[in-house]
Structure 1
Amino acid sequence: MPRSETTAGWITLTTDFGLEDWFVGTMKGVIARIAPKVRVVDLNHGIAPGDVRAGAFSLAAGFRFFPKGAIHIAIVDPGVGSARRALVARTASCLFIGPDNGVLSRVLSQESPIEVRCLENPKWRLNKVSKTFHGRDVFAPAAAHLAAGAPVSDAGPKVDCWAQLDIPTPRSRSHQVQGAVVYVDRYGNAITNIPNEGFLDPERPADVWVGEKRVTKVHEFYQSVAPGKAVCVPGSSGFLEIAVNSGDAAKRLKLKVGSEISVRW
């Protein structure tokens, strides 16, 4: 990708590294040595260790709010050091970098890739590559070289397919939509795969069910109900989310990723 096709100013990081150790800071140091003017933004380092699905959802929820041409690194990589590939994907709006384990599959289903390549250019890696820290040794330097103007075509060979997560899709039937919880945030709010649109029609009030138990209606905001009561709202990620006003819906309603949700009217 010629430099004119990318904004060198932004790199985002989505990882399961947490902030207790040196991992995130070391990646930023590698980037700064290669592309000192780039701005690095922490999108999310609170992904549960090895939770590729949560990493994929978090990246998909956040990337679109950055300037065109930003470079998004996603590292939730339990297969680090194995034969799994390292990828860079170019879309019309940005670049995505990460392991070929499905962590990029949500964004690549939303943003049709123009090209996807393996990261195999040895000049884009640190001299010694650890089998346990590709974030520092492979992904961070590759992103920095791209931010500094290196073309995507120099990354390595093109690939035509990549790992896909089995992402559940909602099913519509007469007077109801069936879906599932796909992410639980730090507040205990359970985000579903049911899009927000169409559930605030006062002429068609919608009930929300967890399994076969009715728990609430779709409301406009959290405090539409009393403290401690369950509520379902159109979430900022674009999907309905189930919450408890001033509480933890995941604990209260025993919700987890995969829990069956339906909206009925």
Structure 2
Amino acid sequence: MAFITLTTDFGRKDHFVSAVKGAIYTLLPEANIVDVSHEISPFNITETAYILKNAYKSFPKGTIHIIGVDSEMTPENKHIALLLDGHYFVCPDNGIMSMIASEINPTKVVEINIHDRIETSFSVLDVFVNVACHIARGGTLEVIGKPLSEITKMVELQPQIVSESKIIGSVIYIDNYGNVISNITKEMFNTVGKGRKFTLSAGRYNFKKVLSKYSDIVDFKLPINERNSAGSKLALFNSGNYLEIAIYKSNLQTVGGASSLLGLDYRSSVSVEFEKDTPA
């Protein structure tokens, strides 16, 4: 039986998550349900896309991902189901999938059209659950929707290459440690930079180096009292290959995080300017 994942902004206080799981088990008692996150900031589709884009690839092909963020159907927010990279997604057409599918085109997309058969005021509980369980039983997308030629594109928070030497991006996510993730990818950085020296500007600090991992900030050959330690600022490409600003061994309750110490928030500017014609 395929896995069904849940990614929502429901939180844990209310009954919504358990109600959705109960509905899945009612239709599909043998279902394997996995929570990706229920702590998405309310209606934050950029944060949703970042988390799920980095999570879905770890699941087996054929996994069905239910996305319950900004999911109320309106004339401008259809419900869709699609096949992408061997995975199924059941979600609103609010731009989330255009960010997840920025590097891979969907194999098939349909606009869900079973609403006339299901009375609902809670789309995730009723419509999305029914569609996910239909797919899990081996059902096809054509049965629950009509083909859709394109999905809504979210271009508002895409990084911009403003010259041959400069990228301007923005913060798209702040993690549990206060680390700040930008929308500038390693691929874009390398394509524009071509190995040149650079200045990375984020909040109140500039960086001249991007590390491969957090502990690279520490020179373990030095005596302990001479090393960089917890609280040191750094930039790196994270596991999702996004440019991240971090504090080594950060803790928002003690040493602070990059978001608090550097004054960075969601949508704050992050830019990289490369030196002209000076290979590193």
Fold similarity call, TM over 0.5:
yes
Contact 1:121/1:154 (8 A) holds in 2: no
Q: Tell me, yes or no, if structure 1 residue 196 matches structure 2 residue 196.
A: no
Instruction: Give 3-state SS (helix, strand or coil) of 1:262's partner.
Output: strand
User: Which range is displaced more, 166-175 or 224-233?
Assistant: 166-175
Are 2:238 and 1:235 aligned?
yes
Cα gap change, 1:250 to 1:88, in 2 (>3 Å): same
Post-superposition offset of 1:173: 4.3
Residues 202-222 of structure 1: CA deviation (Å, up to 9, x unaligned): x86654212684256322332
State the 1:258 CA deviation.
Answer: 2.2
Q: Which residue is 1:165 aligned to? A: 154
Q: TM-score, normalised by structure 2?
A: 0.80
- Do the aligned residues in 1 keep the contact of 2:205 with 2:262 (CA within 8 Å)? no
1:226 equivalent to 2:229? Answer: yes
| TM-score normalised by structure 1 residue count | 0.84
The one-letter code sitting in structure 2 at the alignment partner of 1:254 is G
Distance 1:92 1:181, change over 3 A: closer
Confirm or deny: 8 A CA contact 1:14 1:55 kept in the other structure: yes
Q: Measure the CA separation in 2 of the matches of 1:74 and 1:53.
A: 13
- Alignment of 1:129 with 2:132, yes or no, is no
Residue 214 in 1 paired to residue 199 in 2?
A: no
**Aligned runs of 1:86-101 on 2, under 5 Å?**
86-101=79-94
The reply on whether 1:251 has 2:254 as its aligned counterpart is no
**RMSD between aligned residues:** 2.6
Per-residue deviation, 1:140 = 1.4
| Same amino acid, percent of matched pairs | 32
Deviation of the 1:255 alpha carbon:
0.9
Give the letter aligned to residue 164 of structure 1.
K
Give distance in 2, aligned partners of 1:154 and 1:44: 29
- Hey, what's the Cα distance between the residues in 2 that align with 1:48 and 1:85? 21
Contact 1:34 1:145 in 2 (8 A): no
In the aligned structure 2, how far is the partner of 1:231 from the partner of 1:14?
30
Equivalent residue number for residue 72 of structure 2: 80
Q: 1:177–1:11: structure 2 CA closer, same or farther, 3 Å change rule?
A: same
| C-alpha displacement of 1:64 | 1.3
CA distance in 2, matches of 1:243, 1:65: 24
Aligned residues of 2:8 and 2:38 also touching (Cα < 8 A): yes
For residues 100-139 of structure 1, the aligned pairs below 5 Å read: 100-121=93-114, 127-130=118-121, 133-139=122-128
Unaligned 5+ segments in structure 2 are: 218-227, 251-255, 275-280
Aligned match of 2:34: 41
Task: Tell me the SS of whatever aligns to 1:96.
Answer: strand
Please say which structure displays the higher CA radius of gyration: 2
Q: 1:253 to 1:211 in 2, by over 3 A?
A: closer
CA contact (8 A) 1:210 1:262 kept: yes
1:11 maps to a residue whose letter is I
Identify the residue that residue 17 of structure 2 maps to in structure 1.
24
Deviates more, 1:107-116 or 1:28-37: 107-116
Question: Structure 1 residue 44: deviation in Å?
Answer: 1.4
